[in-house]
């Protein structure tokens, strides 16, 4: 019996190691659109950390966030003022228990990835989110990222209602009201698998810590 338990534990560890070894590492570029504006972002992703750069219209970096996926520590950096600070955000208190979740069989190819359509709607908030999710689920950073950031937008909150969403990444996500009008949209424009330089997660020299 002890041998069986030991063998089972070892097998589980091997499977976990293989899965994590296959996890996405690289960059993801995307745009965020709403009623008023469009903003471009870049994710720099490793198995343990994510860096998010928000870009100005001219392509320069306006702000950066470092997210430790294990500790859930979030650090924000203001490059114009050369400041950095720790960010603490509480989870949303919105009741999403009436969410209706559908994993459809509708598929299409986006940026060379085979994607399937998932939807989440909620009558309490009179809106519906549609996600085109990459079928092969090795994007384990994404759920941990949403958990660490405690994002309050419906696209993030609805996605977190989906059971077994770990490992899946929505290459496109959008929220519309029940009237069909677009409220917000996140759309991936480029994905590149590559090793990320650890220096990407270092606070630049000369930046001062800002404390509330």
Neighbours of 6 (CB within 10 A): 10
Q: What pLDDT does residue 22 have?
A: 64
Task: Look at residue 6 and tell me whether its pLDDT is greater than 50.
Answer: no
Task: Look at residue 11 and tell me whether its pLDDT is greater than 50.
Answer: no
Q: Which of 22-26, 100-104, 183-187 has the lowest mean pLDDT?
A: 22-26
Neighbours of 67 (CB within 10 A): 24
In a domain, 93, yes or no: yes
Taking residues 127-147, what's their average pLDDT?
95
In a domain, 50, yes or no: yes
**CA–CA distance, 99 with 97 (Å, rounded to integer):** 6
The total domain count for the chain is 1
In a domain, 145, yes or no: yes
CATH number of 80's domain? 2.50.20.10
Residue 27 sits in which domain range? 23-201
Q: What pLDDT does residue 17 have?
A: 37
Q: What are 163-205's pLDDT values in tens digits?
A: 999 999 999 999 999 999 999 999 999 999 999 999 999 999 9
């Amino acid at each position: 019996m002890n041998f069986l338990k030991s063998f089972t534990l070892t097998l589980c560890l091997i499977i976990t190691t293989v899965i994590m070894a296959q996890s996405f590492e690289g960059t993801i570029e995307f745009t965020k659109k709403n009623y008023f504006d469009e903003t471009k972002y870049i994710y720099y992703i490793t198995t343990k950390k994510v860096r998010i750069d928000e870009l100005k219209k001219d392509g320069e970096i306006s702000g950066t966030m470092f997210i430790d996926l294990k500790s859930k520590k979030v650090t924000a950096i203001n490059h114009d003022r050369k400041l950095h600070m720790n960010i603490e955000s509480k989870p949303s208190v919105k009741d999403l228990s009436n969410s209706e979740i559908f994993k459809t069989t509708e598929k299409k190819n986006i940026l060379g990835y085979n994607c399937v359509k998932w939807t989440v709607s909620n009558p309490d908030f009179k809106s519906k989110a549609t996600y085109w999710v990459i079928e092969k689920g090795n994007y384990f950073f994404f759920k941990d990222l949403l958990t660490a950031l405690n994002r309050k937008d419906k696209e993030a909150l609805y996605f977190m209602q989906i059971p077994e969403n770990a490992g899946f990444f929505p290459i496109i996500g959008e929220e519309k009201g029940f009237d069909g009008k677009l409220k917000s949209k996140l759309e991936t424009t480029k994905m590149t698998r590559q090793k990320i330089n650890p220096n990407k997660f270092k606070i630049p020299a000369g930046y001062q810590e800002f404390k509330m």
